[in-house]
Structures are given as structure tokens and as C-alpha cells.
Amino acid sequence: MLFWTILCLAVLSCQSLGADQTSVVDEFNDALEEGLQSVRVLIQNTESHLPSAVNKAFDYFNRLQDKPNGVAEAANALYETAKNTVTQVSAETEAIFSKLSVLTDQPRLPQNILQLIADHHNLQDFLIKEAREAFSQTIRTHHLGSSKADEKLASFLQQKTNAIKQAVTSIASAVHDVIGHLQNSANSSLSKEAVENILRSGMETLGFAIVFAQEEIKDAMSH
């Protein structure tokens, strides 16, 4: 993914000024899709590691010869809650990226990007809060509070969603910056060449944002 971004930036820097604007827009949207794919990798990684995360959360009991009643049932409940949370996080992340494409066939500009970022963060926090409460209720129901399994699993999800929020913020903020320049261009009736240059500059900005997001994702998957 990092290689793709660097290669894309190199290709764009070599394009002539008179290149077709639609192709530049397509490149920008393709880069945005690359950013989304990077976030998808983290989400998929999180889901695939849920079984081991749940197992680690119950490590206190797993080391006992005689496990208390309800450990398996509680572990299954925590897993299902966590999996459902990851599914919702994935859906909401897909939704914000679907609103970030710079131009479509209309064409159109994405609107209220900073609000989209804020709404995405708030919803992610809400989903984790709900999961944390559900985890705690399950642990209380089965009288397994000494394990602190709910806190451990909630921390696992929190760390992953924090990385997702960082990645979304980086990429969406880059799009926000480019949109501002495009809107200014429309207001000042800049030439086609000037608009193309703005898009190319935006491509570079987005490329760096993707690199940053990928580093955040790489770090999140290493823990």
C-alpha cells in the first residue's frame, strides 16, 4: 500500500499540465479508495483477532484448574458483542468514505467534511461505550468480576477504534483541504490548468495522509 502511494505520487508529478482533468479526479478518488482499503485491513485484522483477545481477557480463569461456572458462556457473549461492535464500526467507516469522493458524474463536492469527521468520532465512541457497558453487564451476570475481562476487551477495542479515528481524520482532513482550494477556484474562475494543479497538489496531500494513516494502522495491528 505504501509502495502504491509513493508510485502514484511519482506518476502524478510527471504528468503534463494539460492532462485531462477527469483522469486527475479519478486518480484522487482511487487514492481515497486506497486509504479506505487500508482502514479495512485494520478492521478485518481486529475481527480476526477477537477470539484471541477474548481468550486473553479471561486469562485469569484460564490459568485455574477449576474454572468457575459461566466462563465459557460469558466468553461467548463478550465475543458476540465485540464482533457486532466491529461490524458497526466497519459500516460507519464505509459510510464516511462514501461521502468523501471529490467528484462524481454530477459532478459534486463532498460537504461538511469536518462535521462528518466529528460525527464519525462521536459514533465510534458511542459504540465502544455501549460495548463496554454490555461487557460489564455480562461479567456481573456471571459473577466473574475478578477477571476484569470486560475492561481488558474494551481496552482492546478502544485501541483499535482510536487508530481508525486517527486514520479517518488524517485522510478526511486532507480531502477537506483540497475541497477548500477547489471551492476557491470555482469562486475565482481559475483556469483549467490551475484547477488541475490544485488536484495534483491535493493528490500529494492525500497521499501523505494515507501514508500517515497506514503507519497508525501498522502500529495498531502490532499491539
pLDDT value, residue 28:
82
pLDDT value, residue 136:
95
**pTM for the structure as a whole:** 0.81
CB 168, CB 39: distance < 8 Å: yes
The string of pLDDT tens digits covering residues 26-51 is 888 898 899 999 999 999 999 999 99
pLDDT value, residue 17:
32
Confidence check: pLDDT of 195 > 90: no
